[in-house]
């Protein structure tokens, strides 16, 4: 399949200033040398604890966080080098659905006004057709237009708000959606329904998804391939099934061993004999030398504390950055 998005050695750094007058005292390498490529119509997952760099990378794809090094390509066009007009078009094709729809949608507006806004900004559809289009898009996310068009966001449930956020993105005819923790703000009973809706829209509209989450059950259910992030670095990447069946990196093993098992069928994915994950994620300001996971890794040895491991392909399409391989 053709690649739709390629991230090539991407780095996003933030400078730290202190004192008066302000003095540069350090740098946070929030995304550090990330490579990944996403194929058309697949669902790619980025997994990691909070502060692992996954949202920072997503915002770099959206052009919100500028890259310090590296490049991001959408359909082989380097996003940074596009002219303003082309960028506006591309960022209709790539849409970002934020973690908490309450913070990204204006609660003082009606559903109709929320959905009308992107149509007006991008001057889409003839004026007399706009209400019909909004009605159709509400129907596509299973919200009856006659009931929801005039409602206000404050009167909607979490799941309904998430459907409005999805509808708003779809109005622009995207082909690539970034879903940032798509279910974390929702009740468990609603999570499955939103994932089902996303799956049916993906098939119907030939969409490609990048799913960012710390929730391993979402990842195991919806993604084809994943990258495991830790402190701005990729620790392991490959097909979701391969990584869940035979995780290679000690961090991945610890993450998988920490999932509570609900279904008997999930037991096959839970590595046995692995210690539980201990300790706090270190600060970006004071990164460990060598391997970034060395302060929490139960298998650490001398080399790990002096040399950063490189990413190696261990099996077909299954990569790991660890000195044990
Ligand atoms: Fe653990 Fe060393 Fe592998 Fe890092 S390189 S994950 S410290 S064994």
Alpha helices (H) in the chain, listed in sequence order: 54-61, 84-93, 101-104, 111-121, 130-140, 145-148, 158-170, 188-205, 216-222, 240-245, 250-257
CA of 318 to the centre of ligand 1 (A): 17
CA of 290 to the centre of ligand 1 (A): 9
66 closest CA partner among 31, 38, 90: 31
pTM above 0.85, yes or no: yes
CA of 323 to the centre of ligand 1 (A): 6
Q: What angle do CA 142, 147, 149 make, to 5 degrees?
A: 85
| Residue to mutate, 229, 236, 250, ligand 1, most ligand atoms under 8 Å from C-beta | 250
What ligand 1 atom has the least distance to the C-alpha of 250? 6
Q: Which helix (H) or strand (E) holds 209?
A: strand 208-213
What ligand 1 atom has the least distance to the C-alpha of 298? 1
CA of 254 to the centre of ligand 1 (A): 12
Which residues, judged by CB distance below 6 Å to any ligand atom, belong to the binding site of ligand 1? 250, 291, 293-294, 297, 299-300, 304, 309, 322-324
| Residue to mutate, 293, 295, 303, 307, ligand 1, most ligand atoms under 8 Å from C-beta | 293
163 closest CA partner among 189, 132, 197: 197
CA of 299 to the centre of ligand 1 (A): 6
CA of 147 to the centre of ligand 1 (A): 55
Q: According to the 3-state scheme, what is the secondary structure of 260-319?
A: CCCCHHHHHHCCCCCCCCCCCCCCHHHCCCCCCCCCCCCCCCHHHHCCCCCCEEEECCEE
Res 68: pLDDT: 95
For the chain, residues with pLDDT lower than 70 are 1, 259-277
**pLDDT tens digits, residue range 118-150?**
999 989 999 999 999 999 999 999 999 999 999
Res 269: pLDDT: 56
**For the chain, what's the residue count?**
325
Would you state the structure tokens that stand for residue 27, as one six-digit string? 């740098």
């Amino acid at each position: 399949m053709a690649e739709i998005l390629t991230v090539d050695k991407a780095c996003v750094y933030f400078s730290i200033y202190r004192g008066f007058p302000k003095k540069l005292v350090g740098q946070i390498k929030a995304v550090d040398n990330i490579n990944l490529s996403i194929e058309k119509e697949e669902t790619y997952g980025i997994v990691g604890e909070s502060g692992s760099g996954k949202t920072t990378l997503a915002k770099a794809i959206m052009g919100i966080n500028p890259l310090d090094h590296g490049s991001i390509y959408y359909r082989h066009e380097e996003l940074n080098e596009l002219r303003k007009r082309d960028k506006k078009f591309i960022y209709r094709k790539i849409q970002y659905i934020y973690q908490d729809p309450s913070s990204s949608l204006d609660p003082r507006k009606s559903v109709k006004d929320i959905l009308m806004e992107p149509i007006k900004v991008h001057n889409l559809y003839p004026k007399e057709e706009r209400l019909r289009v909004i009605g159709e898009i509400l129907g596509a996310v299973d919200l009856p237009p006659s009931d929801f068009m005039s409602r206000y966001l404050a009167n909607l449930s979490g799941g309904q708000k998430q459907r409005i956020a999805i509808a708003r993105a779809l109005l622009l005819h995207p082909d690539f959606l970034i879903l940032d923790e798509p279910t974390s703000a929702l009740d468990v009973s609603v999570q499955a329904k939103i994932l089902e809706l996303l799956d049916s829209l993906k098939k119907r509209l030939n969409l490609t998804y990048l799913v960012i989450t710390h929730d391993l059950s979402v990842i195991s259910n919806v993604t084809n391939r994943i990258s495991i992030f830790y402190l701005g670095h990729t620790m392991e990447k490959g097909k979701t099934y391969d990584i869940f069946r035979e995780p290679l990196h000690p961090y991945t093993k610890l993450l998988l061993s920490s999932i509570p098992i609900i279904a008997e069928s999930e037991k096959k994915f839970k590595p046995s004999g692995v210690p539980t994950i201990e300790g706090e994620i270190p600060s970006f300001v004071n990164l460990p030398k060598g391997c970034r996971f060395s302060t929490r890794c139960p298998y650490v040895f001398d080399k790990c504390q002096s040399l950063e491991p490189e990413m190696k392909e261990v099996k077909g399409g299954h990569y790991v950055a660890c000195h044990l391989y």
